[in-house]
C-alpha cells in the first residue's frame, strides 16, 4: 500500500510542478487539499482492491486525458502535446466580426500582472 501511495504522490508532485503555470492563481491550500484527497482515495483503493485496483483506477483516470489530447484537440486544430493552434483563425474561440468596432469586438485577455489584493484578476483590453 505504501508503494502505491508513494508512486501516486510522485506523479502528483511532478504534475503540480510541471502544470502549475496553467492555473497560477489557484491557492496553495486547494493544491494541498487536492493532493491529500487523491492520496487518501489511492490508499483506500489500495487497501480494498490492491495494487491492481490502483493501476486500473489510474488507467481509468487517464482515459479522458488521452482522448482529449490525442483525439479531440487534433480534430479541432490544436496540437494535443504543445497546445498550439494549427491555424491562427482561433476556431475554438468562436467567430468574430472583423469590420465593426463596437463593444462586441473587445477581447479580454488575462495579463501576466499579479492578482490585485481584493482577489479580482487584472484584465487587459485588446481591440482588433
Cell numbers given for 41:
482515495
In a domain, 10, yes or no: yes
Per the structure, how many domains does the chain have? Answer: 1
- Between CA 88 and CA 110 the distance in angstroms is 19
pTM: 0.60
Supply the range of the domain harboring residue 42: 2-75
Note the pLDDT of residue 38: 95
User: How would you label 105-128 residue by residue, b for 16+ Cβ within 10 Å and e otherwise?
Assistant: eeeeeeeeeeeeeeeeeeeeeeee
In a domain, 116, yes or no: no
Cell numbers given for 94:
468562436
Tell me if 1 sits within 8 A of 47, measured CB to CB. Answer: yes
4-58 pLDDT per residue, tens: 999 999 999 999 998 888 888 989 999 999 999 999 999 999 999 999 999 999 9
Note the pLDDT of residue 34: 93
In a domain, 8, yes or no: yes
In a domain, 47, yes or no: yes
Amino acid at each position: 500500500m505504501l508503494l502505491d501511495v508513494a508512486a501516486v504522490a510522485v506523479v502528483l508532485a511532478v504534475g503540480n510542478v510541471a502544470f502549475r503555470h496553467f492555473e497560477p492563481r489557484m491557492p496553495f491550500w486547494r493544491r494541498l487539499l487536492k493532493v491529500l484527497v487523491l492520496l487518501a482515495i489511492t490508499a483506500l483503493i489500495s487497501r480494498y482492491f490492491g495494487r491492481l485496483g490502483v493501476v486500473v483506477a489510474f488507467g481509468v483516470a487517464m482515459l479522458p486525458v488521452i482522448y482529449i489530447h490525442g483525439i479531440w484537440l487534433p480534430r479541432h486544430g490544436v496540437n494535443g502535446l504543445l497546445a498550439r493552434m494549427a491555424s491562427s483563425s482561433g476556431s475554438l474561440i468562436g467567430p468574430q466580426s472583423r469590420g465593426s468596432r463596437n463593444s462586441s469586438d473587445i477581447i479580454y485577455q488575462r495579463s501576466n500582472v499579479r492578482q490585485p489584493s481584493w482577489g479580482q484578476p487584472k484584465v487587459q483590453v485588446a481591440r482588433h
